Amino acid sequence: MFDSGGYNLKLRDFADMKTDMTGSSTVYGLMNLIAYHKLKGHYIGLLPIVENMVNEHASRPGDIVKSYNGKTVEIRNTDAEGRLIMADALAYSEKYKPQIVIDISTLTGANQYFFGGKASSIMGNNNKLIQKMIQCGKENNEHIWEIPMWSEYVDATKSSLADYTNDSNEISAGTIMAGAFLSNFVPKNSHWLHIDVAGADYHENGTEIRFSGSNGVMLNSLLCFVKNKHCID
């Protein structure tokens, strides 16, 4: 909900980190819209909600924690906390045997730097669904760009001390590596889309199609995806 960076304290002004709850608010909003429109189907929203603050219970760099599915994770950076709770949510979702899993978050500052706050990135394990989501973005004036998740990135999430590490010491592709880390926790046999809206979710000044402040980016595209029953043929 608020990301101070933990022991890896953010060095700049981070008053805007109140917007780190954007992913959860988007899921909450989408579930309400699905109910409002009485859309047929079986939809489940999971909201992992925490504060990333320093206290006597805070994780420290070098700690090894056990995730929901029993896999261990070496914490190299406490500011990469979002992917830890999202990994647990993805692992937890397996109990529902989902056909499609979509996660959305303000996951990486690198996404903002890469797109200048103008676009969201998407990656996953089903190119057909990725392209359908991108098309929904075009229909709703929301820029979505696919980024790769090659095996070299996934391999770099492995740790010599645990099963995985939450921050690669080898590859600096922050946005890609966050998604690659999450790929290790996706339910078996599920189609998966990962969307990073960092930077695109909040604008100091509004535009013709976006409010100033938190702007609900991707909510329309997600609703489009669901309303048009974009499922596996």
- Could you list the active site residues? 10, 83
- Asked if 45 contacts 28 with a C-beta cutoff of 8 angstroms, the reply is yes
- Asked if 130 contacts 146 with a C-beta cutoff of 8 angstroms, the reply is yes
* 221/134 Cα distance (integer angstroms): 8
| Single-letter amino acid, residue 218 | M
* 1/56 Cα distance (integer angstroms): 19
The H or E element spanning position 25 is: helix 22-36
Residues in the chain: 233
Please give the backbone phi and psi of residue 85, each rounded to the nearest 5 degrees, phi first: -75, -30
- Asked if 200 contacts 115 with a C-beta cutoff of 8 angstroms, the reply is yes
Which residues pair with residue 74 across a beta bridge? 64, 165
DSSP 8-class letter at 78: T
* 12/9 Cα distance (integer angstroms): 9
Which residues pair with residue 195 across a beta bridge? 104, 122
